[in-house]
Amino acid sequence: MSTSGSVPNEVPGPPSAVVLSDEVREAVGRGAPVVALESTIIAHGLPRPRNLAVAGELEEIVRAQGAVPATVAVLDGVPRVGLTKEHVERVAEDSSLRKLGFRDLAPALATGASGATTVSGTAFLAARAGIRVFGTGGLGGVHRDWVTVQDESADLGLLARTRITVVCAGVKSILDVPATLQRLETLGIGVLGFGTARFPGFYLSDSGEPVDWTVESPQQVAEVMAAQDALGGHESALIVANPVPRDQQLDPALHDRVLADALAAADAGGVTGQAITPFLLGYLTEHTGGASLEANLAAVRGNVELAAGIAVHWSRRG
């Protein structure tokens, strides 16, 4: 593991504190395909001990496509892009790990804290490390009770100003999906449906909402990324919305029923802020007899595989 502080970075300025694993540093340096993976889904989004197996499985999916996985986390105040096996074990097993969005990174560094990075934390660190493609489950977004609490994930604001391609199964269905799509439009974040004209619904293949643009291949996504760069002038992300295969989605009737119960339970329990997303995901897993977890995993696996395919095409262009 390298401890050198400098990262390949096109922005002039002082060296960054971000630490790349040797493998990731080498791959980024020669323009090989690399896929960033977040750690919040491992530490806070999936039940133990399954989460550790999934973390390893996701890295293997990336490798099978010929790309290098770069799981991101902050350990003992060090922001790491590319984790060792021991690091991954810690992320999966240490229940004291914090949940770190972009704004939490500096305090975590300064205090030597350890935490798993959300989409916003991961996308920021990956982009700083020179990584262009990121595979995850579902983005954060606008929560359903926005009118009273104004809870909108920091994922959206960060992606409005970060040049990275995020492959996801839409936004978690626990959110207000139409409001989140509206915010993505307002923020100027491009959304591509992968093989679909419908925005996926995370556990469900179709959220019921349309998307404006449809692509059919990883190569086409790489072409859109190249066009973003050719336009220049604005550092926004690109969302590739990849539906969970219909035969692996959660039964829509079960989904709607348990989600309504989960939202009521969160309300009754006064669960808010950073705790709400893990609470709702956990409630769904428990009350669907694990079926929501299987749909979640199917979505994440598909996204990570597609992200690796996009990274391979992106690397060939360079």
- Annotated binding-site residues for Mn(2+) read 151
Rounded CA separation 160/185 (Å)? 10
In whole angstroms, the minimum distance from the beta carbon of 151 to Mn ion comes to 5
Ramachandran quadrant class, 214 (left: phi over 0; alpha: psi -120 to 50; beta: rest): beta
**3-class DSSP assignment, residue 90:** helix
| Range 238-297, binding ligand PSU (CB under 6 A) | 274, 277, 281, 296
Q: Which residues contact 129 (CB under 8 A, 6 or more apart)?
A: 7, 8, 18, 20, 24, 28, 36, 70, 81
Which residues share a beta bridge with 69? 35
Dihedral sign (CA 311, 41, 239, 236): negative
Measured at the CA of 46, the angle between CA 287 and CA 241, to 5 degrees, comes to: 95
Q: Which is nearer to ligand PSU, 27 or 131 (CB)?
A: 131
Nearer to Mn ion, 151 or 206 (CB): 151
The active-site residue, picked from 38, 59, 152, 305, is 38
Q: Does residue 85 carry a catalytic annotation?
A: no
Nearer to ligand PSU, 25 or 99 (CB): 99
**Rounded Cα gap, residues 284 and 67, in angstroms:** 33
Does 151 engage in binding with Mn ion (CB under 5 A)? yes
Toward ligand PSU, which CB reaches closer, 79 or 101? Answer: 101
Instruction: Please report, in range form, the residues annotated as the binding site for substrate.
Output: 99, 119, 153-155
Q: Does 153 bind ligand PSU (CB under 6 A)?
A: yes
Which x/- pattern, by CB under 6 A, does the window 167-186 give for ligand PSU?
A: -----x--------------
Q: How many residues bind ligand PSU (CB under 6 A)?
A: 19
The reply to whether 38 sits near ligand PSU by the rule CB under 6 A is yes
Rule CB under 5 A: which residues touch Mn ion?
151
What are the residue numbers of the active site?
Answer: 38, 172
